[in-house]
Structure 1
């Protein structure tokens, strides 16, 4: 099963076309989307992000114009057994067709406040310890791991240490990314950082 992640920063029609293009190009059966920025995301809008096949989804609406999560998947490929939903993550646990082990996929859009991120890491770690099987955690972590993950912005040693400890304690490893080094820009494009990641169990 191929899985994709996309921080869309607004669920407009153009973004929906881009997501549908990714589904086709990479044969995705499961897509996790962050920053829909919709306070009440209707199903007619959600349908724009998928092809003509059947789909299932869970959503968390944005708070004002900030946040919003949407994992969406092919139920013929992934059968959901359970879910855990909060403002900053959606956990979906189920089984891939033909697989004998449960798989848990977590769509993350971490808060900007460091203390809140630490609470989030602890919450996900507790869930990881209680739910068996394969795990994948992906999305916008709003945190970097190493100094080279930032350009023209301050590296937070304490935040990175906490994040790296979470990854280690959860038994996760990071997939290497192709393309550009950084995934987020601010300050009119002058400040760059790598805050979007794909973490998987050993």
Structure 2
């Protein structure tokens, strides 16, 4: 399954929607995970446009005003939706995929900035994985956290103690989740401050051994 994760930082503009549509077509995407849509409602016409056809299903979490918002769209052909599960900061789907009817869980994640919200999100993700039946798991999205110091540059010295605590907690979460953090190819970071003063690797694909 080809999965694309993209923090769009607002999906209202026609240019950005067209770029997403082109990405889906060019990469033959089977599952699209968008974060920070900044949309309170999602229409079928929007999903069909982004996907390039009506051969799709979707689920979403609305934004809170002009903040957040998660949208997951997947290829309907050969992917039977078994159920959807959601929580603050994530939308998950369980699919029966392909001729072999393999059970696949794909969780679209968008974490808030404060550590308390991240901890609640991490706890809910671990409980979700432990609570459902076995299958292949993929957690994709913007986790807004790092667990190695080299994954973030340009952070003020004042924030170093808080960052160290967050890194330790995030690493514990990854161990509890029992998944693999897939390495980046080509670049070392996924986010940068507009003036280039700080950069981070906060977007990830976490996958199970299956």
How far residue 53 of structure 1 moved from its aligned partner, in angstroms, is: 4.2
- The Cα offsets for residues 173-198 of structure 1, whole Å up to 9 and x where unpaired, read as 01111232211122622111110000
Mapped to 1, the partners of 2:36 and 2:116 lie a distance apart of 20
1:175 aligned to 182, 199, 206, which one? 182
TM alignment of 1:28-43, pairs within 5 A: 28-43=29-44
Other-structure match for 2:99: 98
Three-state SS of the structure 1 residue aligned to 2:137 is strand
How far residue 99 of structure 1 moved from its aligned partner, in angstroms, is: 2.8
TM-score norm. by structure 2 comes to 0.91
Do the aligned partners of residues 22 and 143 (structure 1) sit closer, same or farther apart at CA in structure 2, a change above 3 Å counting?
same
TM alignment of 1:156-195, pairs within 5 A: 156-186=163-193, 188-195=195-202
The answer to whether the 8 A contact 1:13-1:48 is kept is no
How far residue 76 of structure 1 moved from its aligned partner, in angstroms, is: 0.6
The yes-or-no answer on 1:201 pairing with 2:202 is no
Which segment is superposed worse, 22-31 or 116-125?
22-31
How far residue 107 of structure 1 moved from its aligned partner, in angstroms, is: 0.1
The answer to whether the 8 A contact 2:190-2:202 is kept is yes
How far residue 71 of structure 1 moved from its aligned partner, in angstroms, is: 0.3
CA RMSD of aligned residues (A): 1.5
The answer to whether the 8 A contact 2:89-2:110 is kept is yes
Unpaired segments of 5 or more residues in structure 2?
A: none
Which segment is superposed worse, 188-197 or 177-186?
177-186
Mapped to 1, the partners of 2:116 and 2:61 lie a distance apart of 21
Mapped to 1, the partners of 2:100 and 2:171 lie a distance apart of 30
Other-structure match for 1:74: 75
Other-structure match for 2:89: 88
Unpaired segments of 5 or more residues in structure 1?
A: none
Three-state SS of the structure 2 residue aligned to 1:52 is coil
Other-structure match for 2:46: 45
Mapped to 2, the partners of 1:184 and 1:45 lie a distance apart of 26
The answer to whether the 8 A contact 1:183-1:193 is kept is yes
Three-state SS of the structure 1 residue aligned to 2:21 is helix
Mapped to 1, the partners of 2:25 and 2:42 lie a distance apart of 23
Q: Aligned residues, how many? A: 202
